[in-house]
Structure 1
């Protein structure tokens, strides 16, 4: 064997260790698409508030109303968009959604009043929230039943890295502070979607007969997933645990700055710690969550970690020395991140394992309703119900997480036995777990 062949073999083993075996079957291109998407989105998230207020001339309340309308429309449209993915294939629909989103963000640059902003936000809202479950359906086609959760874990890592890079790029434009610089943030986001769409045209699927693939049946529009109440119940429990998103983005910053003696600069450090831990441990947390039993175990770990985080955050609000408060906040943040990682892994595992092959993307999009509802309701729940109630609010939230952890097992096992999910629709390892 030549030195070149040895080096190539080592390079392939390193790529498989970092990205998984599915990288050889197109996973690298899939992750590159996700990275480009995330960089654009990270730019937009970091600079959108200033763009809307300084360039478009909106008030903070008007921005909030428009984005709330977009969130509600996105919530309502997800099952239909999932059904379209089953008919057109996830790759074709994701390509369309990227171009759809690009056109909407380009239109933002021409908005000059609240009505124009509201119409564009509503237009974008219809397609924005459904993108992630379509990515999830495509990941299964690339990685198969054995590697789908691992592929989604790697995509989550890529998203975290992309959001960070996008935020750094946006900070440059924000520092410049001109209308053109803020417009460049929004147009950069649109450009990322166009590039992602172009790469999707070159993405090779090696398992077209997988759920949602080229050979999938074309189901009529009957929204069967919404009428599958056991599946919806599991999605609802997942939605409760997904409150960690609002806690991280809104609850923790407000609690640290307004209700503890910790320095306000600690907020930035906590967010950095969360990002680093998520990048380092998301793939590891997803190990063994491919079937129903593994998904339940991950959800139990998530619930336990979130309960512990609530207790530590509540403790940080007590009259303690600053060093003790900072320690409690850091440990609480570590547990909050653990809850995030295990919830994500368990949610992916259960959403796949409990979804029939015949309407895979529709079921995945319906499962994502719990996450989307968090974006609509989570900020109010956290600000009014938790932060506004002080220590008692953290206690109540901890009890809610505890109940969610207790319920997820019985609900998921009941969903695994429902008539709508025949054994022949399941991957072999999932069928074995659901009938054990």
Structure 2
């Protein structure tokens, strides 16, 4: 698989770091609750509340990280995020009670937020124009494949059921983030930064500019609706299929594996073909329509009898989700990078991460409340959100494109004026 053009060693170093990071994350997520219950005397609810509180402490970081990215560049911030995650996992080895668990989880959560608030700016810095779509597509493929591989390894460790195996997992995760940080530090070079802050503004000018940029804020809001569809898979699918449809547990695992494999292997090709036929906003709109179709098809599964027919039907339904994810993910990241002003891209892309964080927080409550009323109702609600987002994104994309063209025209005019003055001075 050939990667798009990039600067220096980034064409292989960034994918390698992404893969290492994804495998570590995939290894950790299925085992985290089990590990903390093993090494402490806390209950499931106690561990869950501590992890939620630790994550909540990091929610204000993206805008601060974005300002830092704009000042010093994304590369050192990405490295810092990976080192903080490594430090968090090393601290996990010493967890013995609620205080040590909260502190270790907070360090890891801060590192995670720092990393994901800066890594997309690093990717955007390495390629321009059409190459960005392929970069984001392949980054998504690597993330899916790495997380899937980590999950398979975690399954093997769960089968062992050994505290030593769990500690080995934590240690392996810590070293994986160290290796990823060293890879970026040694082989990725940041773009040359202009001297001083853009336009001579203060360090918080990017945030003020962002808050005045209504189209970009709307982009973040619309992307929350799209991302609810993404998060809804992991939140709703196991409960709905096992408790609502009485599908065997092994089938749910098989569905998730198939979906991960499709996204990990086909995203780049789907992105390449979609960019030939439509704009980034158009690809996102099609993703929303397919997510709505996925929700409708999943809701209608209650009409089918239990057995092989239902399992086969659900397997086909999952392909709708995978196709929607492949259309939406790379296009949304590329559009957010394209719409961000050049000198403020770190701040804008960090703020764009709030669309993911908001979806992570909202989706479990949305599903839990609606599922308590009726098992089909969550699918109807999320399908309506997907259609709403697909309708809103096309006119929003046009506004973002027009604003970007206006900014570029202004910048070119401003850049031409000093040149004319210099020329006149030379003639004198």
What range is the shorter-chain TM-score in? 0.7 to 0.9
Q: Which moved more, 1:310-319 or 1:297-306?
A: 310-319
The 8 Å contact of residues 22 and 151 in structure 1, kept in 2 or not, is answered as: no
Separation in structure 1 between the aligned mates of residue 322 and residue 411 of structure 2, nearest angstrom: 31
* Residue in structure 2 matching 1:347, options 332, 338, 361: 332
Q: Which residue of 1 aligns with 2:160?
A: 176
Q: Which moved more, 1:321-330 or 1:159-168?
A: 321-330
Which of 1 and 2 has greater Rg? 2
Q: Which residue of 1 aligns with 2:360?
A: 375
**What is the deviation of 1:316?**
0.8
1:422 correspondence with 2:407 = yes
* Residue in structure 1 matching 2:131, options 139, 147, 153: 147
Q: Which residue of 2 aligns with 1:242?
A: 227
**What is the deviation of 1:421?**
6.5
Q: Which runs of 5+ in 2 are unaligned?
A: 413-428
1:303 correspondence with 2:288 = yes
Separation in structure 1 between the aligned mates of residue 17 and residue 119 of structure 2, nearest angstrom: 10
Separation in structure 2 between the aligned mates of residue 426 and residue 285 of structure 1, nearest angstrom: 34
1:39-74: per-residue Cα shift (whole Å, max 9, x none)?
111111121111111113322212221222233333
Q: Which runs of 5+ in 1 are unaligned?
A: 1-14, 428-436
Q: Which residue of 2 aligns with 1:11?
A: none
- SS of 1:112's equivalent? coil
The 8 Å contact of residues 74 and 126 in structure 1, kept in 2 or not, is answered as: yes
* Residue in structure 2 matching 1:86, options 70, 81, 96: 70
Number of residues of Structure 1 aligned to a counterpart in Structure 2: 406
Structure 2 vs 1, CA of residues 313 and 59 (structure 1 numbering), >3 Å: closer, same or farther? Answer: same
* Residue in structure 2 matching 1:271, options 236, 256, 259: 256
The 8 Å contact of residues 83 and 111 in structure 2, kept in 1 or not, is answered as: no
The 8 Å contact of residues 28 and 169 in structure 2, kept in 1 or not, is answered as: yes
How high is the TM-score relative to the length of structure 1? 0.86
- SS of 1:58's equivalent? coil
**What is the deviation of 1:146?**
3.1
* Residue in structure 1 matching 2:204, options 214, 218, 221: 221
Structure 2 vs 1, CA of residues 214 and 59 (structure 1 numbering), >3 Å: closer, same or farther? Answer: farther
1:333 correspondence with 2:318 = yes
Q: Which moved more, 1:19-28 or 1:72-81?
A: 19-28
**What is the deviation of 1:122?**
2.6
Q: Which residue of 1 aligns with 2:191?
A: 208
Aligned-pair RMSD on alpha carbons?
Answer: 2.6
**What is the deviation of 1:337?**
1.2
* Residue in structure 2 matching 1:136, options 120, 135, 139: 120
Separation in structure 1 between the aligned mates of residue 283 and residue 40 of structure 2, nearest angstrom: 44
Separation in structure 2 between the aligned mates of residue 271 and residue 335 of structure 1, nearest angstrom: 13
- SS of 1:286's equivalent? helix
The 8 Å contact of residues 289 and 345 in structure 1, kept in 2 or not, is answered as: no
Q: Which residue of 1 aligns with 2:420?
A: none
Structure 2 vs 1, CA of residues 169 and 262 (structure 1 numbering), >3 Å: closer, same or farther? Answer: closer
* Residue in structure 2 matching 1:103, options 57, 69, 87: 87
How high is the TM-score relative to the length of structure 2? 0.87
- SS of 1:57's equivalent? coil
The 8 Å contact of residues 274 and 333 in structure 1, kept in 2 or not, is answered as: yes
Structure 2 vs 1, CA of residues 424 and 183 (structure 1 numbering), >3 Å: closer, same or farther? Answer: farther
Separation in structure 2 between the aligned mates of residue 31 and residue 373 of structure 1, nearest angstrom: 27
The 8 Å contact of residues 71 and 125 in structure 1, kept in 2 or not, is answered as: yes
The 8 Å contact of residues 251 and 387 in structure 1, kept in 2 or not, is answered as: no
**What is the deviation of 1:154?**
1.0
**What is the deviation of 1:109?**
1.5
Structure 2 vs 1, CA of residues 86 and 122 (structure 1 numbering), >3 Å: closer, same or farther? Answer: same
**What is the deviation of 1:23?**
8.6
Separation in structure 1 between the aligned mates of residue 52 and residue 405 of structure 2, nearest angstrom: 34
Q: Which residue of 2 aligns with 1:393?
A: 378
Structure 2 vs 1, CA of residues 217 and 80 (structure 1 numbering), >3 Å: closer, same or farther? Answer: same
Separation in structure 1 between the aligned mates of residue 271 and residue 411 of structure 2, nearest angstrom: 20
**What is the deviation of 1:141?**
2.1
1:123 correspondence with 2:145 = no
Displaced runs of 4+ in structure 1, greater than 6 A?
288-291
Separation in structure 1 between the aligned mates of residue 319 and residue 273 of structure 2, nearest angstrom: 22
* Residue in structure 1 matching 2:149, options 140, 155, 165: 165
Q: Which residue of 1 aligns with 2:415?
A: none
Separation in structure 1 between the aligned mates of residue 102 and residue 376 of structure 2, nearest angstrom: 37
Separation in structure 2 between the aligned mates of residue 258 and residue 312 of structure 1, nearest angstrom: 18
Q: Which residue of 2 aligns with 1:405?
A: 390
The 8 Å contact of residues 133 and 365 in structure 1, kept in 2 or not, is answered as: yes
The 8 Å contact of residues 354 and 421 in structure 1, kept in 2 or not, is answered as: no
1:270-289: per-residue Cα shift (whole Å, max 9, x none)?
01110111012211232277
The 8 Å contact of residues 296 and 350 in structure 1, kept in 2 or not, is answered as: yes
